[in-house]
Amino acid sequence: MTRELTQLELLRELESVAEANVNRHLKAARDWNPHDYVPWDEGRNFAALGGVDYDPEQSRLSDVAQAAMITNLLTEDNLPSYHRVIADNFSMDSAWGYWVGRWTAEENRHGIAMRDYLVVTRGVDPVALEQARMTHMTNGYSPELTAGDRAGELTAGGQAGLLRAVAYVTFQELATRVSHKNTGKACNDPIADKLLQRIAADENLHMQFYRNVCGAGMDIAPDQTLRAVTDIVTNFQMPGAGMPNFRRHGVLMAKHGIYDLRQHLDEVLMPVLRKWDVFGRDDFGPEGEKTREELAAFLEQLERDTVKFEEMRDRSLAREALKKARQEKKAS
């Protein structure tokens, strides 16, 4: 059996890939300013400065759009925790260190723009939003949170390991891309849509960086990397887990197509696994082959769960539509 590469060896082996991908990123990324996406002329003072405090009537966002906006923004707010995971696992030198700083700065822009938009337009309750941010950031995020029962096995001293960290952020960046894109549509406001499409484009570029690093990992250490990928895929939880109202908001978002199991499987997991050619490649050893079977079985079960979820959702939405139609008939 081939020896597993250490964290240091992986960083050295993958450094040229990190460098090439930093350069690719800088060429593809477009600079933008958060303030250009906020309708400042809609803003006014709150009571502390002689104005009027928030009232739910002021929001033009539906319940679904509010839940999605809050969830996506709190996810962005937790950047210091993600920074810690990435910085702990990457080196602070060379292209690795540059990427950590650059990526962190880009992510911070997302939270700035979304909060400014929400506070100026009074899209959500700013007091509740601030309280949720305090709770969510105080809880923080650690890889154990997404590891479920296998936390002890998956992390050593809170460190996810380079391969698990890049596998996790690959899927997470793509998941946030899907979620931002659909939230933009759900807001029913061209300004919010433009802002969230802009953020989603950033997330896609971030995903490409991590996906390419992880893919190169699979080329140099196929069994070891597939193990890390499988650990992440089979334990994946959106980073919102643990945030206030996550269950209620998560259900609303899944029910209304912001982020659901079908999207998770078809738009997040499968495109990345296909890009790495996980099910086509022939360079796995006996351990890797076993891991691949485990991953395939998990995906088959997820497909069955997804079909069940879709049937349940369709029934529930049909019931709601019927109820609404009856109420409207009664009222007319």
- Positions that interact with Fe ion (CB under 5 A): 107, 110, 173, 203, 206
Smallest distance, Fe ion to C-beta of residue 173, A: 5
Q: Residue 296 to residues 48, 171, 226, 282, 293: CA-CA distances in angstroms? A: 57, 17, 12, 15, 5
Amino acid identity for residue 32 in this structure: W
Instruction: Please indicate if the annotation marks 83 as binding a ligand.
Output: no
Amino acid identity for residue 115 in this structure: R
Instruction: Please indicate if the annotation marks 42 as binding a ligand.
Output: no
Smallest distance, Fe ion to C-beta of residue 176, A: 6
Smallest distance, Fe ion to C-beta of residue 170, A: 11
User: Closest by alpha carbon to 310, among 265, 260, 270, 269?
Assistant: 260
Amino acid identity for residue 255 in this structure: K
Q: Which is nearer to Fe ion, 239 or 288 (CB)?
A: 239
Instruction: Please indicate if the annotation marks 76 as binding a ligand.
Output: yes
Instruction: Please indicate if the annotation marks 4 as binding a ligand.
Output: no
Degrees (nearest 5) of the Cα angle 155, 158, 164? 45
Bridge partners of 159, per DSSP, are: 156
Q: Which is nearer to Fe ion, 76 or 189 (CB)?
A: 76
User: Closest by alpha carbon to 191, among 323, 12, 15, 34?
Assistant: 34
Smallest distance, Fe ion to C-beta of residue 205, A: 8
Smallest distance, Fe ion to C-beta of residue 112, A: 11
Instruction: Please indicate if the annotation marks 110 as binding a ligand.
Output: yes
Smallest distance, Fe ion to C-beta of residue 118, A: 15
Amino acid identity for residue 326 in this structure: R
Q: Which is nearer to Fe ion, 206 or 264 (CB)?
A: 206
Q: Which is nearer to Fe ion, 199 or 273 (CB)?
A: 199
Contact 211, 14 (CB under 8 A): no
Q: Which is nearer to Fe ion, 125 or 173 (CB)?
A: 173
Q: Which is nearer to Fe ion, 137 or 299 (CB)?
A: 137
> What tokens does 126 get?
């700013």
Smallest distance, Fe ion to C-beta of residue 110, A: 4
Q: Which is nearer to Fe ion, 5 or 113 (CB)?
A: 113
Instruction: Please indicate if the annotation marks 13 as binding a ligand.
Output: no
Binding residues for Fe cation: 76, 107, 110, 173, 203, 206
Binding residues: 76, 107, 110, 173, 203, 206
